[in-house]
């Protein structure tokens, strides 16, 4: 155990951002203590990307990285993300001999296991001589000018002139997520943007959802949109029907932008002119409408949509033009309003967090001198697909350079 004052910096939270920052700071010659209350290290990295960690995204545009991030100030993340790029992290991964592959839209995953990324970060910490206290609870944190920070911990009191908070968001409380970072920020007079679940499945009222519950397990590519005309957000991704609502990449992505009470617009046949295709089929086919529609969307969806209207239970050549138009409209512009989200238990990340107006975008230092916030605890939330880890690496790097 280090004697009081023996450390230059204490990093709280040994997840993605904390581990990376501690290793880099240690390698710069600082004496670093890394603390975490969890029994196991970096649980979120372990479970990420289905156990293979989608550790970065090659499509991140380093000249305009804010495109893939949301937050009170979308430009806040630019400095850190352009100074530590996906390519730099890829080079680190390659130096550690970790094999990887690109899956979809620039997303990079380990060929093997996410444990390789954890082992890499631990090796970087070892190279920096980082001291680990884990599991170790952190209680009161006091500050006195000239003396720095004094932490009461499960292993006694420890002091340092600088503290880095890397305790993440509220997602997945069952593996150790807490509101520690937000409470600490408030204690030191920093503003916190109210946290909310993001990259999360959306739910729908029981009765409203009953007609669609049988579709659970169905996945299909869609165009999904929300927001007003002026602030429209659109994703072209796969959607998944579940027993309680909607999930899949399309829905996780749009959930970060969705405002309670707002509808979603879903096009189940993006790129297909359903109205024209049905009108054409009417001229040349005697098949049932559901069978014709099944050429444009999965048969289960076609059956469910056609099943909602008695006027559509017939061969297409006998259907009224108006009924076919209405069907096409409901396939291309299905509007439905979620009743809520699956919450932090299922959310991949937490939006909101320590207000970026109270942090330096260059160093991640807060308005309270010597107190830094990095990673998901900050009000910066990335898209699905490796962007959140890249923010963890980049914010940790910006901080470590400044310590």
By CB under 6 A, tell whether 292 contacts ligand FDA. no
Structural contact between residues 295 and 278, judged by C-beta atoms closer than 8 angstroms: no
Structural contact between residues 28 and 134, judged by C-beta atoms closer than 8 angstroms: no
CB of 251 to ligand FDA, least distance (A): 15
Out of 125, 354, 375, 403, the residue judged to bind ligand FDA by CB under 6 A: 375
Q: Per-residue contact track with ligand FDA, 146 to 175, x per CB under 6 A?
A: --------------------xxx--xx---
**Which residue's structure tokens are 């879903």?**
266
Q: Per-residue contact track with ligand FDA, 318 to 357, x per CB under 6 A?
A: ------------------------------xx--------
Which listed range, 8-16, 22-30, 278-286, 358-366, lies at the site for ligand FDA (CB under 6 A)? 8-16
Structural contact between residues 355 and 177, judged by C-beta atoms closer than 8 angstroms: no
CB of 32 to ligand FDA, least distance (A): 15
DSSP E strand stretches across 227-281? 233-241, 245-247, 264-267
Rg, Å, the chain Cα set: 25
CB of 394 to ligand FDA, least distance (A): 11
53: left (phi over 0), alpha (psi -120 to 50) or beta: left
Residue nearest to ligand FDA (CB): 15
- Angstrom CA distances, 209 to 96, 204, 212, 344, 368, stand at 48, 6, 5, 22, 48
By CB under 6 A, tell whether 21 contacts ligand FDA. no
- For 96-135, the DSSP string reads TT--EEE-STTEEEESS-THHHHHHHHHHHHHTT-EEE-S
By CB under 6 A, tell whether 386 contacts ligand FDA. yes
3-state helix, strand, coil in the chain (%, to 5): 35, 25, 40
Residue placing its CB nearer to ligand FDA in the complex, 38 or 106: 38
- Angstrom CA distances, 295 to 179, 223, 269, 281, 298, stand at 49, 18, 10, 11, 8
Residue placing its CB nearer to ligand FDA in the complex, 86 or 266: 86
Instruction: State the number of binding residues for ligand FDA (CB under 6 A).
Output: 35
CB of 262 to ligand FDA, least distance (A): 24
CB of 216 to ligand FDA, least distance (A): 20
By CB under 6 A, tell whether 15 contacts ligand FDA. yes
Residue placing its CB nearer to ligand FDA in the complex, 327 or 351: 351
Q: Which residues from 26-85 bind ligand FDA, rule CB under 6 A?
A: 36-38, 44, 47-49, 53-54
Phi, psi of 178 (to 5 degrees): -140, 170
By CB under 6 A, tell whether 252 contacts ligand FDA. no
Dist. CA 47–CA 246, nearest whole Å: 22
> 224: helix, coil or strand?
strand
**CB neighbours (10 Å) of residue 149?**
21
CB of 197 to ligand FDA, least distance (A): 10
Which listed range, 70-78, 207-215, 219-227, 371-379, lies at the site for ligand FDA (CB under 6 A)? 371-379
Out of 46, 161, 180, 188, the residue judged to bind ligand FDA by CB under 6 A: 180
By CB under 6 A, tell whether 376 contacts ligand FDA. yes
Q: What residues make contact with ligand FDA under the rule CB under 6 A?
A: 12-18, 36-38, 44, 47-49, 53-54, 138, 166-168, 171-172, 176, 178, 180, 348-349, 375-377, 386-389, 392
């Amino acid at each position: 155990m280090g004697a009081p004052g023996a450390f230059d910096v204490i990093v709280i939270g040994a997840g993605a951002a904390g581990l990376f920052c501690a290793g880099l700071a240690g390698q710069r010659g600082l004496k670093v203590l890394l603390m975490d209350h969890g029994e196991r290290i970096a649980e979120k990295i372990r479970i990420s990307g289905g156990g293979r960690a989608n550790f970065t995204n090659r499509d991140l545009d380093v000249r305009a990285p804010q495109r893939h991030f949301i937050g009170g100030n979308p430009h806040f993340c630019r400095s850190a993300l352009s100074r530590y790029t996906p390519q730099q992290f890829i080079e680190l991964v390659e130096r550690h001999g970790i094999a990887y592959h690109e899956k979809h839209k620039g997303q990079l995953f380990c060929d093997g296991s996410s444990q390789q990324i954890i082992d890499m970060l631990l090796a970087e910490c070892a190279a920096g001589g980082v001291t680990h206290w884990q599991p170790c609870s952190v209680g009161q944190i006091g500050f006195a000018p000239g003396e720095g920070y004094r932490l009461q911990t499960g292993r006694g009191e420890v002091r340092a002139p600088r503290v880095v908070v890397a305790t993440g968001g509220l997602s997945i409380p069952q593996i150790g997520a807490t509101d520690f970072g937000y409470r600490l920020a408030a204690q030191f007079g920093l503003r916190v943007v109210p946290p909310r679940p993001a990259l999360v499945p959306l739910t729908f009222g029981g009765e409203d959802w009953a007609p669609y519950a049988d579709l659970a397990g169905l996945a299909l590519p869609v165009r999904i949109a929300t927001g007003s005309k002026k602030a429209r957000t659109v994703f072209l991704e796969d959607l998944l029907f579940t027993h309680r609502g909607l999930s899949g990449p399309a829905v996780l992505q749009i959930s970060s932008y969705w405002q309670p009470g707002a509808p979603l617009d879903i096009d189940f046949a993006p790129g297909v002119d359903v109205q024209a295709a049905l009108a054409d089929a009417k001229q040349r086919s005697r098949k049932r409408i559901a069978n014709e529609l099944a050429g444009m969307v999965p048969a289960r969806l076609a059956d469910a949509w056609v099943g909602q209207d008695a006027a559509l239970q017939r061969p297409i050549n006998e259907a009224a033009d108006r009924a076919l138009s209405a069907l096409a409209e409901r396939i291309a512009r299905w509007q439905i309003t979620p009743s809520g989200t699956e919450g932090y238990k299922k959310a991949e990340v937490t939006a909101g967090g320590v207000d970026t107006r109270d942090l330096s975008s260059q160093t991640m230092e807060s308005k309270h001198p010597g107190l830094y916030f990095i990673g998901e605890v900050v009000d910066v939330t990335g898209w699905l697909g490796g962007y959140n880890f890249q923010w963890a690496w980049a914010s940790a790097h910006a901080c470590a350079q400044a310590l």
